[in-house]
Amino acid sequence: MRLFQRTLFVAVVLVVASGGGSPLRAAQGPTLTATLTPLIGTDAVRAGTTGRLALRVELAEELHVQSNTPSDPGFIATVLTVDPPDGVTVDELVYPAATELSQAGVDEPLSVYGHDFIIGVRVSFASTVPPGPIAIAARLRYQACNDTVCFKPVTASTSWIVPVVAAEARVAAQHADVFDAIAFGSGIKPPARVEPAIPVAPVASTSAASLADGLTAMDGFALQLTTGGYLGAEDFLTFIGNAEAGVTPSGLFDNRGPLAILLIVLLGGLALNLTPCVLPMIPINLAIIGAGARAGSRRRGFLLGASYGSAMAVVYGVLGLVVILTAGTFGTINASPWFNLAIALLFIVLGLAMFDVLLIDFSKFSARLQPSGQTQGSLTLAFTMGGVAALLAGACVAPVVIQVVLFASNLYAGGTSVALALPFVLGLGMALPWPIAGAGMAALPKPGVWMVRVKQAFGVLIIATAVYYGYLAYTLFENRWVDATEVSSSVNEMLASGWHASLAAGLAEAQREGKPVLLDLWATWCKNCLTVDKTTLKDPGVVAALSGYVKIKVQAEDLDEPDTKALLQRLGAIGLPAYAILRPLS
């Protein structure tokens, strides 16, 4: 039972570290995901007849969505797309009557639906449809807004499970209050199986098909350089110059040598042995595994200590690899303000633990796993105990391990493969004293107040990391506080001046004319996208530098959409705005 409790606690910590902790939900504001309730007008539908369906949409009370016919084409319409199976035809979509909403900064009233509305659907069932339940799938695309800001568009899926019965069977009406209020006969004829557009601008945006074709077309181009975030005119000109000259700006490992960073992490692992959670336990754990004075020989003690220490390095290395390699979308996750806020809060808790304000310590559990006298002195036992000690890390160790894993994940997402070794190197640093101490060849430092100071020094580093992630979360939140209409209008202006909206079409032109390409990835919820459009990309020097380029505006509205995610990963981009320069291979 205690093992289960420990496992559960570790799992909760990992969930919080990944940004999914429930304590954050209260700070996230309104829930943007709508509750969709599919309703059927009768308890069954006869084959060869029509049926009436309804979809109830419920959002947080302070939210609204644009109607299916927004007052301004720059707004994102609410669109219901029904994908009927064979034998079923969608005859009519009945959207509710829109209401007018006056909003600050907008001259004309907005045509919107409130937080609770119903869409009607009339469908026909062919006489050949066999009796039994039949699923009718649907997707609702909408953008939730409050009185001041519009949030990221959402596409939600649902389905009706309709019982089909024989033509002579009896059926009974249901949900009369809902269906009597729907004006069937006054709706619109839906387009057959057409993917809903994202009408953020009257000029065509990047469609799913265009983006998929563009990804294929990118095989004929070489990526020169990628950058992102807000860039002033001077920085953008430097970006262009570096791309044209084939110069890659120095990163964390560039011009320093990865060995220097690995050495720092190694020394950090070694320093963890000097904390009050670890140092006093070394002679105790050596005695448990039969090393040190009880080993019988220095060689035996060395091997036992080495086995114990190597297990710690292996455990941290494997855990790091699992986290880093399975977080293939770490760049996308790291662009989420909620993820960064979660990490900031986690590191605040861990930092406070380093100052003994909070107590987080699993190491006491390892004392309960003492072996019998017959198993002492076994290399297998020593390795096992080392692995257990690594998993049940003390309060001084766990925060640093998590920090190194996150640091390595971020580096690996940016293309630094050597980052995969960082968790292992941290464990290796912790392991170094064990074979020496196991052989009795070195005297351990005397415990004292100085160990607390070492622990507190790590605490300062962890709190500083929390401040960094907190600031990053704030900037990402601020970047999303933007009027989607203003972003769309700015993009329209640039498209009208000669930019391309289609990735495939723009790359085809660049291939024909042998010109370099500037990719500009944007979204209607990206404030810095608008800022760069209005300032940097209108700077005379930048305009002149890009005069010989094919310039493409690529809409990356949903960063989790497969093609968009593939494009971001291919460019090595993290978040929006993102800019990349390509050159034709031929």
CATH class label, 27-179: mainly beta
Domain ranges of the chain: 17-22+255-477, 27-179, 208-251+482-584
Alpha carbon 367 to its chain centroid, in Å, reads 39
Q: Which pTM was predicted?
A: 0.42
Measured distance CA(64)–CA(408) in Å, rounded:
41
Measured distance CA(283)–CA(16) in Å, rounded:
34
410 CB-near residues (< 8 Å, 6+ apart): 330, 334, 419
DSSP state of 160: E
Q: What is the pLDDT along the chain (586 residues), one digit of tens a residue?
A: 333 333 333 333 333 333 333 333 333 445 677 889 999 999 999 999 999 999 999 998 888 898 988 877 667 889 999 988 889 999 999 999 999 887 655 667 888 999 999 999 999 999 999 988 888 988 999 888 877 666 778 888 888 999 999 888 899 999 999 999 999 999 998 865 443 333 333 334 454 455 777 888 899 999 999 988 888 899 999 999 999 998 876 554 454 556 777 888 888 888 777 765 565 556 656 665 555 445 456 777 788 878 888 888 888 888 778 777 765 444 445 556 677 787 778 778 767 776 777 665 544 544 444 444 444 457 777 787 777 776 665 545 666 777 777 777 767 765 667 778 888 888 888 888 877 776 665 555 565 666 667 667 767 777 877 787 777 677 666 655 667 788 888 888 888 888 998 888 889 899 999 999 999 999 887 878 888 998 999 999 999 999 999 999 998 888 778 888 889 888 877 678 899 999 999 7
- Residue 134's SS3 state is strand
Q: Is 316 exposed, middle or buried (0-12, 13-18, 19+ CB in 10 A)?
A: buried
* Fold exhibited by the domain 208-251+482-584: Glutaredoxin (3.40.30)
Q: Is 192 exposed, middle or buried (0-12, 13-18, 19+ CB in 10 A)?
A: exposed
